[in-house]
């Protein structure tokens, strides 16, 4: 008797979108290969936090911070995550009112492209 094929593991993708209208469809890039939904959600959240902070001007009101982000910032969504995907709209007011710590904005530490490169550096040829 043969075993049924195991289901393939879900791989998540985060889509980065530019509010400035620099591209026709507002999509800057799709970043694939997140290990799980929590990883993709954490990356999207940190990416948006960083985008908001890069546009924050000293003394700006929370409303001004949000308006600036909608004009020049970048949003991030987890593709095909439905209601389980993180949404910037749920936290924008809090992000605008409370500046982020460096750790809250460190999306680079969560970037799966970096994780792959680091593995290859330590395990050339995929051996480990």
Average pLDDT over residues 89-100: 97
In the predicted model, is pLDDT for residue 126 greater than 50?
no
In the predicted model, is pLDDT for residue 34 greater than 80?
yes
Residues 6+ apart with CB under 8 A from 35: 12, 112
Report field, pTM of the whole predicted structure over 0.85 = no
Give residue-wise pLDDT tens across range 103-121: 999 999 999 998 665 445 5
Per-residue buried b or exposed e for 65-93, using 16+ beta carbons within 10 Å of the residue's own CB: bbebbeeebbbbbbeebeeebbbbeeebe
Give residue-wise pLDDT tens across range 42-93: 999 999 999 999 999 999 999 999 999 999 999 999 999 999 999 999 999 9
Where do the domains of the chain lie?
Answer: 12-126
């Amino acid at each position: 008797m043969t075993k049924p094929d195991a289901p393939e593991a879900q791989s998540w993708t985060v889509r980065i979108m530019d509010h400035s209208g620099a591209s026709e469809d507002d999509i800057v890039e799709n970043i694939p290969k997140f290990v799980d939904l929590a990883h993709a959600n954490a990356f999207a959240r940190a990416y948006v936090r960083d985008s908001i902070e890069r546009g924050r001007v000293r003394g700006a009101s929370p409303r001004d911070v949000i308006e600036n982000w909608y004009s020049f910032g970048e949003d991030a969504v987890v593709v095909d995550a439905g209601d389980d995907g993180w949404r910037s709209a749920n936290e924008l007011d809090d992000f605008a009112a409370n500046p982020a710590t460096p750790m809250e904005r460190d999306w680079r530490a969560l970037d799966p492209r970096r994780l792959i490169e680091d593995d290859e550096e330590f395990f050339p040829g995929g051996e480990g």
